[in-house]
Amino acid sequence: MLHEILLSLSGHPSPLLRNEYSDAGPGALLSAPERDLLKTAGHLSDLHCNLIKYTTHISASHPSVICRAAATAISAAHLAAFQQKILDVEAGILCKDASLVGAYNIVPLTAVIGEFSGWTRRLEWLWDLVQFMSRKKDDGALCTGAELMNKLRGELLTGYADIEETASSLVKVAETAWLKQVSAWVLYGRLPSFGAQDFFILKDEHDEQGYKVDPSLLPSFVTSHTASSMLFIGTSLNRVRSKSAGQSSTAGTLGHLSSQLQELSSLSFPLSSAALSKATNAIRLNYSRTVLQKLLPLERVLEMLQLLRQFMLLGRGEFAMALTQQADDRTRSRWRRADNLAYQKRDSLSTVVVKEGEVAAVLARTWAALGMMQSQHADEDEELEFARDVLQLTMSSSLSTTKEAPGGLVDTPFRNLLLSAPVEITVRIPSPLDLFLSTSDAQIYSCINSYLLSIRRAHLRLTDLWKITRLRRHHLAPPRAPFSMTRGGLAKTKTLRERWSSRSTYLRSTWTTTSAAIFFLAETEAYLQIEVVEELWSDFLSWLADTSESADDGRIRAPDRHLQSKTISQLSDNLWVPSGLSRHQQSGAGQPATTFKVAHHDPQTLSVAHRLYLRCLTRRLLLTQHVFTAPMYNLLIHADHLVALVHRLDSIWTSMDLESDEGVVDAFSNLEADEADVKTNLRSLEVKIKKAVEEVIKVLRNLSIDPTFLAEIENDGLLEDEDHMAEDDQKRYIPKRTGGVDRLLMKLDFGGWFGSG
């Protein structure tokens, strides 16, 4: 009987524990206490048999390598220990151990079963764990490695010492298997050769980097910052390997693995979030100093950021002026061509539709115009050539005004204003700059550019109305003598003066409205460009290069374009160098000396800081507030309409003058009806512009006291994944507190016309 019990506990089903005679009844061969003891033995036997069966199946077929490792550890360690316990009990019986064998060589069944009392809870826990790994979800998927590790770490807190010991050993096995997968990625840039679908980094053909992080496969002890660091390390190594394929430099790329392996091997189990983040940051910084040193110099980063500032954020005002002028010329020529064909063809509207070739031609002529402007400045030609390569003016297919743009920007269609069609300037991010600049960053720059360019364009077009000298003169000069002294000459002089006096009187309210709108746009544009864009850019550039002025007042001044170019050129041979190194630049005569201390900023730190810079920029430009962008867009639409009506009125009056003075008659037009219609629309539009400006100012006043908006501005210094930055990380970029809607309102208060009514 003892032999059968031990065989059954070893995983061999025994009829003794399953025979019907072992049950209670009239013909029962066993007493009630014996049946209870055999039930305990049978329960242990069933658990052991099931564990052997299921762990073997999991080790052979489970898609997760971590689950396979845990199942193998259960079989090789814990079930083997249980088997060894059975052998020890059997050896004790054969050796007549006093704890098992009593007088007359009697072996009490209670003593034998009591030897396994500590294994019941452990085997039951292991069985629940094995069932957890084998159970299918609603979608038919099995347990993932991350879910298993999270469960095991939770089981460390059950309060039972034996369960904690068992769970701790399995946690070490599971996390070791997971750490091997991580090692393949962060050391070689390769996904695991087996079980890659269970790894938290997956291939993604639609992603610009080719890989992405799946949050559902992340263990609980891995923070989002650590995961993004691992993603960056692996994608960078992939880029290096593809760039140096077939070259001897690959060996040098992998020459620093010993220090990286030491960082990973020094980790203790269970893995700590802080320790893992510290090791990951150390590996990332080491790669930045070695592998990425030649791949992504700091000079190229600053060059790209400088280009984005000058062209996308309109740091070079001549670019916005040239682009607006070329776009307006293209629009006028397109409508002129449509008017010429209107007499012959009924489908003349087809010539008004903007085509992709025309859009590209506008930017090409803009570059040509800028090249002529800057021909005398040879130091700026290189920046202009770089802009030609990476900037494109393309048509956008989306006309939605409610869709959320990247970065939380409200997609108000400012891009529709340049060419009366949805066009925008896009940035092509060359490799390897995409290590720290993403496609979403480029889209945010495009949205900001459309927004700033539309305001600049409206301002320029309104001021250009003063170039129509015919509308600004009080009257024409009288006829020359001696005709001016005749009765007919005097009558004509009087007629001309009355005509232009009436026109001047009529246009007085138009000029007033235009002047007020120009004042509003000028102050708004100055606030956005100087107090928001320039201040944030200067602060971000100072953080990049750790620039400090040695002027007497001790304040950091915003460097101009030439000083920024010198900064970039001086940092050309500093590739993610450690902090503590410094450069001294002596400026020209009479200029204070400028000191550049180049801090260590690896590409991922740059990427995080740049995303924070962009987020602060969009919020302080009010591009996340639909309540502001919608009335501002309406105001810009009305400004365009006002410019068109004034030009139309000028052409009508010119035609009327030719008809009355020179006898030139246009049989296909009714000038009086056209004049009346334009005047009616012009008066109506003046009211709309005034109301639109008042609405924008009302929104600004509401935002200046809105606690939600003010809280967003206050929290701009923190990104979600920066919460978990390791203590040994570099000094984080904290945006400068600048701007403030109240400052803009204080300037606009001088325009009392806005607040009237």
Q: Please give the Cα distance from 674 to 682 (Å, whole number).
A: 12
The mean-pLDDT minimum among 28-37, 111-120, 260-269 falls in: 28-37
Q: Per-residue pLDDT for 560 more than 60?
A: no
pLDDT at 622: 93
Distance (Å, rounded) from C-alpha 725 to C-alpha 517?
47
The 3-state DSSP class for residue 685 equals: helix
Angle between helices 603-620 and 439-463 (to 10 degrees): 40
- Give the model confidence (pLDDT) of 435-472 as tens digits: 788 888 999 999 999 999 999 999 999 999 998 888 87
Residues paired with 391 in a beta bridge: 427
Task: Compute the residue count for the chain.
Answer: 757
Instruction: Please choose, from the candidates 306, 628, 331, the residue with its C-alpha nearest in 3D space to the C-alpha of residue 455.
Output: 628
Cα dihedral sign, 460-406-737-537 = negative
| Tens digits of residue pLDDT in 733-756 | 888 888 788 889 988 876 555 444
Which tens digits make up the pLDDT trace of 116-175?
888 889 999 999 999 999 988 888 888 999 999 999 999 998 888 989 999 999 999 999
User: Is residue 191 a contact partner of residue 185, using CB atoms and an 8 Å limit?
Assistant: yes
> Residue 712 corresponds to which tokens in the numbers above?
């967003």
How far is C-alpha 117 from the geometric centre of its chain's CA atoms? 57
Find how far residue 254's CA is from the centre of its chain.
31
Structure-model confidence comparison of residues 199 and 115, the more confident one = 199
Residues 704-742 pLDDT 10s: 999 988 888 877 655 444 444 444 445 678 888 887 888
User: Within 135-223, where are the H helices?
Assistant: 145-155, 161-188
Cis upstream peptide for 270 (omega within 30°): yes
Q: What's the chain's average pLDDT?
A: 79
pLDDT value, residue 716: 67
| Alpha helix positions (H), 473-527 | 487-526
Instruction: Indicate the helix (H) or strand (E) that contains 675.
Output: helix 671-704
**pLDDT category, 498, cuts 50, 70, 90?**
confident
pLDDT at 549: 39
**3-state helix/strand/coil string of 209-266:** CCEEECHHHCCCCCCHHHHHHHHHHHHHHHHHHHHCCCCCHHHHHCCCHHHHHHHHHC
Classify residue 732 by burial, with Cβ atoms within 10 Å: 0-12, 13-18, 19+.
middle
Helix (H, G, I), strand (E, B) or coil at 380: helix
Alpha-carbon span 328 to 619, nearest angstrom? 30
Residue 511 has pLDDT above 80, yes or no: yes
Which residues are CB-contacts of 387 (< 8 A; sequence separation ≥ 6)? 307, 310, 311, 367
Q: Is the pLDDT of residue 656 over 90?
A: no
Other C-beta atoms lying within 10 Å of the C-beta of residue 339: 10
* Domain locations in the chain as residue ranges: 1-21+29-143, 176-245+253-295, 297-344+353-450, 508-546+600-642+669-720+728-756
**According to the model, what pLDDT value does residue 753 have?**
55
Whole-angstrom CA distances from 113 to 9, 476, 505, 587 are: 10, 122, 113, 90
Q: What is the pLDDT of residues 663-699, one digit of tens each?
A: 777 777 788 999 999 999 999 999 999 999 999 999 9
Question: CB 166: neighbour CB atoms within 10 A?
Answer: 25
Give the per-residue pLDDT at 601: 65
CA of residue 145 relative to chain centroid, distance: 28
Question: Is the CA virtual torsion 716, 719, 723, 726 positive or negative?
Answer: negative
